[in-house]
Homo-oligomer: A and B are copies of this chain.
Amino acid sequence: MVELKSFLENSFSMEGLDCELASGLAALARPFSVKPGAILFEAGDPGNGCYAILEGSLKVSIVSVDGDEQLLAVMGPGSIVGELALLDGRARSANVTALKPTRLAFIEKHRFERFADENPALYRHMLSIVGSRLRQANDVLAARSFLPLPGRVAQTLLQLAETFGKPVDNGRVLIHYKLSQADIANMAGAARENVSRVLNDWKRAGTVSRISGYYCLENPDWLRQASAL
């Protein structure tokens, strides 16, 4: 499957890995597909490898005992998920669920390590991925600590724009992904109703808009301001 291989290479290199390593890795990967709603794994499961997203999207979340959900991220093609299990051998720390029909490549821990031992650049790459995850986690925590609700919503939108944003004109950014307010609320750690209020204030003020169901950031700089610590 030439097509698959090129997909994989593309995917791995998306998070910045160089080409020959990507294809080496691609050779180790086992591709497969899942339907929306499928659970890749849940927190506490033993983790024996990681996944690269070729196509589709997944959500990473943690849930409380009484069912409340905290979304950590929504990830699209080119992202790696489940990488923590690759590092230490410990259990999965979050839930990952498919949001859309999704094509994935699974990389087993052993194989990864064998390959990476001969290609330390791969370790460096992994390190930089995990590093940016950690930075982001700290940013979110900072937002939770210091920002009132609107600031956290702003942060959430910008974060989503990072993953799904398509720049249009004048610095406006369209978030090319169907998001419900509930999704945003679960990321921002707020009640859906309040997110609604904030979003409407902004819509009226012209900082965001909705274009045929997609949110559009009319003024990302203003949002950045609002989410500054």
The residue that A123 contacts in the complex, of B93, B124, B189, with Cβ under 8 A, is B124
Decide if B133 touches A87 in the complex (CB within 8 Å).
Answer: no
When distances are taken between beta carbons in the complex, the residues of chain B under 8 Å from A99 are none
When distances are taken between beta carbons in the complex, the residues of chain B under 8 Å from A229 are 62-65
When distances are taken between beta carbons in the complex, the residues of chain B under 8 Å from A145 are 62, 64, 68, 70, 144, 189
Q: Is A180 an interface residue (CB 8 A)?
A: no
Which DSSP category, helix, strand, loop or mixed, fits chain A's interface? helix
Decide if A84 touches B135 in the complex (CB within 8 Å).
Answer: yes
Kindly identify, within residues 109 to 151 of chain A, every residue whose CB is under 8 Å from any CB belonging to chain B: 113, 116-117, 120, 123-124, 126-128, 130-135, 137-138, 140-142, 144-146
How far is A117 from B121 in the complex, measured between Cα atoms in Å?
8
When distances are taken between beta carbons in the complex, the residues of chain B under 8 Å from A84 are 131, 134-135
A198 CB, nearest partner CB in chain B, Å: 18
- Give the residue name and chain of the B residue nearest to A118 (CB): B120
Instruction: Using C-beta atoms within 8 Å of the partner chain, give the interface range for chain A.
Output: 35 or more
Known: A141-B70, A229-B62, A229-B65. A134 touches B127 (CB 8 A): no
Contact with B along A12-43 (1 / 0, CB 8 A): 00000000000000000000000000000000
When distances are taken between beta carbons in the complex, the residues of chain B under 8 Å from A146 are 64-65, 68, 70
A58 CB, nearest partner CB in chain B, Å: 16
- Give the residue name and chain of the B residue nearest to A127 (CB): B87
Q: Is A208 an interface residue (CB 8 A)?
A: no
Contact with B along A51-68 (1 / 0, CB 8 A): 000000000001111001
- List 10 A-B residue pairs with CB atoms under 8 Å apart, sorted by A's residue number: A64-B142, A65-B229, A72-B141, A84-B135, A86-B127, A90-B135, A94-B138, A137-B138, A141-B144, A145-B189
